[in-house]
Every structure is written in C-alpha cells, then in structure tokens.
Amino acid sequence: MYQLNLDIAHFLEHYWQKRPLLIKGGFTDFQDPISPDELAGLAMEEVIESRLVTRFNNKWEAAHGPFESYDHLGEENWTVLVQACNHWAPEVNELALPFQFIPGWRFDDVMVSFSTPHGGVGPHIDNYDVFITQGQGKRHWRVGDAKPLNEFAAHAALLHCEPFEAIIDVIMEPGDILYIPPGFPHEGYAIEPSLNFSVGFRAPDAKALISSFADHLIDNEIRTERYGDADLKPRARHGEIQPHELHRLRELMQQALDDKTLFKEWFGTMISEAKHDLDVSPMEPDYSAEEVADLLTQGEPAIKVPGLRSVWFSGESQTCYIDGEAWTLPSEDAAAISLLCDKDMVTQADMVELADQAGFLQLLTRLVNRGYWFFN
Ligand code: SIN
Ligand code: CO
C-alpha cells in the first residue's frame, strides 16, 4: 500500500493540468514494486508493448519489443520502457491506487522504465498528464515551460523537441514524484541505474471522439437521419451552397450527438475498453453463483483484474460499462454499481449494502467466469 504525501485539493487547484510539480518524498521509504530483471522479462513477451531507446555515439535509436536479450547493450546509454506494466504485475498496479483521486476514465496505464547511466528517451512533449515516480537509483530530470517548440523525429520511432530552458531541474531520488501536465517538454537521464514508474492519464481530443463515435454508429448499424430538402426553391447559382443548407447539415450531425442514450452507450463502451491486453483467464469450468457466494462468505475477496476499466454514469445505477461492453443489473442499485466500478475488489462485507444480493451475485459470477474478477 503506497501512501502519497500530497495535499490533493491544493494540487488539483494549483497544478493539475496547469503546471509541473516536483513532489519531493512523495512516497516515504519507497519500495520498487518490480525489479529491473522482472521488467526486462516483461519486455520479452509478445503481448506486452515495450521499447528500447539507445544513444550510442550520440546517435538516437528506438526499437519496439519483444526483445530477446540485453547482453549486447553494455552498462550505459540505454533505457527499456514497458507499457501497461500494471496489467501484468499486480504490485505495479498498487502504484496507480494513490492516484485514484483522478477519475478512472482518465487513467491510462503505468509505464515502467529501466535506464542505465545517461539513458533516457531524450527531450520530448507528451499529450498526457503523468506522475513519474523515481524508484531505485537517481535520475536527472528537466522540465520546461509549455511553449511552442519544434518537434522532429530523432529516429523513426522517437519524436524529440528542440532544446528548452528548464523551470524544474532536479535530481530525483527514490520516492520523489514529478508531475508533468500535457505540453510541458521534459527529459530525464539516469545518473545511476534507475527505475521510473509513470502513472499516466489520457484525454481524448475532438478528432478521436468524432471518429470513435462514427465507428460506433457503423459497428452497431445505427440508423441516422438523412439530409432532405423538400422545401427547395429555384436558384440562379448552381455551384453555391447556401448558409441554411450548411446549417441543416450541421444540425443533422448534431442530432446524432444529441441522442443522450446513444451518446452514453458509445462513450461508456469506448472509454472502458482496454488499450493494452489484460491478463484475463476465463474460468474453466464456470463457477456457479453458489460457489462465488461460498468463496466470498469464506472471506475470499473477488479481485478486479489489474487494468480492467469499469465506469458508470452518475444517476444511472443499473448499467455499467466494463472492458468495452455494457452490463446491466437486475434493478437500480447504486451500491452494486459502485462495488463494480469504484472499488478494486468485492468482499463479503461489501455485499451487505446491496438491494438485491442474488441478482448481483449472478452478474458477479458472469464477470468472474469471464476472468474480469478473480479469487486468489
Ligand atoms: C521514462 O523515461 O521513464 C519516462 C519517459 C517520459 O518522459 O515519458
Ligand atoms: Co514523457
């Protein structure tokens, strides 16, 4: 259990999405949730997204995993980065929990990097908010102000930005946390072999939202209104598009967005879908609801698979969205929805609040059989 030393209300008001912050000693007596060897092992797996960034003889190079060996790399100037480590190492997922004051739908993943001395990914700008915790070792981090900077490919898979002046310039030690909002250039180079844990948050842009909404309409064969002009009048200029026609086109698109049920259905399924594979093993054979109830009663919690995304809309306590699918409870039940979406496990003690225990157990059993919640 990691305890974050941070005044959350003050942080949200003054720093979140506004300016970077060094949280010196953000975690007291920080213990690495994973070792460099274990991390190197994860980067050898096909299903896990990883990158190796090197700067040998001042030449940047980046390669995507999986990797077979690190022996040829030597002692300096390289870093290996593993995305969504929290999906594969439950101990790493623990590191995301102290940041749950940011809504779950904004959470992306925990990326872990191991850097040898002088190793880093170079100066760059991210679109995401990130809390970078220093694990073992020391690393020199610089963060610049959010000003327009030229960006260029230092290598095919490595986007850099031009040099910047630092507003934060610090040597991070174990337990220190660096918060960087989107748009602030930064670079970090290890002084000693270093582990860094990046708890990242995503925010979609309008382009991605529009494209995903359109995909939802197409995938679900949803009928939308078609443009019509039964009121057409004779006109002289054949090539002209008139303002009321443009307005009507825009309204047509707006109408599709204004369908509140559709909008929620789309957003709930889209945002709950995992971007990286999950470590999910469906039950074989299936559990019965009685078996699930027995395990809970014996004190075994049903644990949510690390990285599983589950969300609900305030005021709607019958439907929740889990891993890209809508799931419906037998009746409105705020406590049940909250158990599935707001908590990381279900215990026997949690069940007492429920309006319909049997109905909830049926749903939980389906989720357990899918492998989304599991018993140790
Ligand atoms: C890292 O090198 O651990 C973090 C990379 C980044 O700045 O995004
Ligand atoms: Co970055």
Rounded to two decimals, what is the model's pTM?
0.95
Residue with tokens 């872990």: 112
Q: Which ligand is nearest to the CA of 79?
A: 1
CA-CA distance, 106 to 9, in Å (whole number)? 18
- 91 with 137, same domain: the answer is yes
The neighbour count for residue 74, using CB atoms within 10 Å, is 11
Cβ of 113 less than 6 Å from ligand 1: yes
CA-CA distance, 152 to 162, in Å (whole number)? 8
Q: Answer whether 30's CB lies under 8 Å from 135's CB.
A: yes
The domain that holds 343 is classified in CATH as 3.40.366.30
- 13 with 117, same domain: the answer is yes
User: Can you give the pLDDT at residue 2?
Assistant: 96
- 185 with 214, same domain: the answer is no
CA-CA distance, 241 to 316, in Å (whole number)? 43
Kindly state the helix (H) or strand (E) to which residue 8 belongs, with its residue range: helix 8-14
**80: β partners:** 52, 114
CA-CA-CA-CA dihedral for 94, 98, 104, 110, to nearest 10: -50
Per-residue tokens: 97: 């929990």
Ligand 1: residue of 191, 196, 199, 201 to mutate (most ligand atoms within 8 A of CB) is: 196
- 54 with 104, same domain: the answer is yes
Cβ of 116 less than 6 Å from ligand 1: no
- 191 with 214, same domain: the answer is no
Kindly state the helix (H) or strand (E) to which residue 370 belongs, with its residue range: helix 357-370
The domain that holds 148 is classified in CATH as 2.60.120.650
Cβ of 77 less than 6 Å from ligand 1: no
- Is residue 294 one of the residues assigned to a domain? yes
Residue nearest to atom 5 of ligand 1 (CA): 121
Q: Answer whether 178's CB lies under 8 Å from 187's CB.
A: no
Cβ of 121 less than 6 Å from ligand 1: yes
- Is residue 284 one of the residues assigned to a domain? no
- Is residue 279 one of the residues assigned to a domain? no
Range of the domain at 188: 8-201
User: Can you give the pLDDT at residue 341?
Assistant: 97
Contacts of 11 (CB under 8 A, 6+ apart): 21, 179
Compute the distance from residue 339 Cα to the ligand 2 centre, in Å.
33
The neighbour count for residue 144, using CB atoms within 10 Å, is 21
Q: Which ligand is nearest to the CA of 188?
A: 1
CA-CA distance, 28 to 26, in Å (whole number)? 7
Query: Which numbered atom of ligand 1 lies nearest the CA of 196?
Result: 3
What residues have their beta carbon closer than 5 A to ion ligand 2?
126
Structural domain count, the chain: 3
- 178 with 249, same domain: the answer is no
Cβ of 86 less than 6 Å from ligand 1: no
From 304, 302, 298, select the one nearest 323 (Cα to Cα).
Answer: 304
Query: Which numbered atom of ligand 1 lies nearest the CA of 187?
Result: 7
The H-assigned helical ranges of 181-278 are 206-219, 243-258, 260-272
User: Can you give the pLDDT at residue 113?
Assistant: 98
- Is residue 334 one of the residues assigned to a domain? yes
Compute the distance from residue 203 Cα to the ligand 2 centre, in Å.
15
- 155 with 49, same domain: the answer is yes
Q: Sign of torsion, CA 310 313 317 320?
A: negative
- Is residue 235 one of the residues assigned to a domain? no
Cβ of 304 less than 6 Å from ligand 1: no
Cβ of 54 less than 6 Å from ligand 1: no
User: Can you give the pLDDT at residue 234?
Assistant: 96
- 20 with 154, same domain: the answer is yes
- 162 with 49, same domain: the answer is yes
- 109 with 184, same domain: the answer is yes
- Is residue 27 one of the residues assigned to a domain? yes
Residue nearest to atom 1 of ligand 1 (CA): 113
Low-confidence ranges of the chain (pLDDT < 50): none
Compute the distance from residue 68 Cα to the ligand 2 centre, in Å.
25
Per-residue tokens: 256: 């599709």
Cβ of 198 less than 6 Å from ligand 1: yes
- 190 with 214, same domain: the answer is no
User: Can you give the pLDDT at residue 213?
Assistant: 98
- Is residue 37 one of the residues assigned to a domain? yes
Cβ of 126 less than 6 Å from ligand 1: yes
Compute the distance from residue 197 Cα to the ligand 1 centre, in Å.
8
CA-CA distance, 115 to 79, in Å (whole number)? 4
- Is residue 237 one of the residues assigned to a domain? no
Compute the distance from residue 198 Cα to the ligand 1 centre, in Å.
7
- 193 with 148, same domain: the answer is yes
Q: CA of 221: how far to CAs of 9, 186, 207, 216, 343, in Å?
A: 44, 44, 21, 8, 34
Compute the distance from residue 3 Cα to the ligand 1 centre, in Å.
22
Query: Which numbered atom of ligand 1 lies nearest the CA of 126?
Result: 8
Compute the distance from residue 19 Cα to the ligand 2 centre, in Å.
15
Q: Answer whether 110's CB lies under 8 Å from 177's CB.
A: no
Cβ of 186 less than 6 Å from ligand 1: yes
Identify whether 193 is preceded by a cis peptide bond (ω within 30 of 0): no
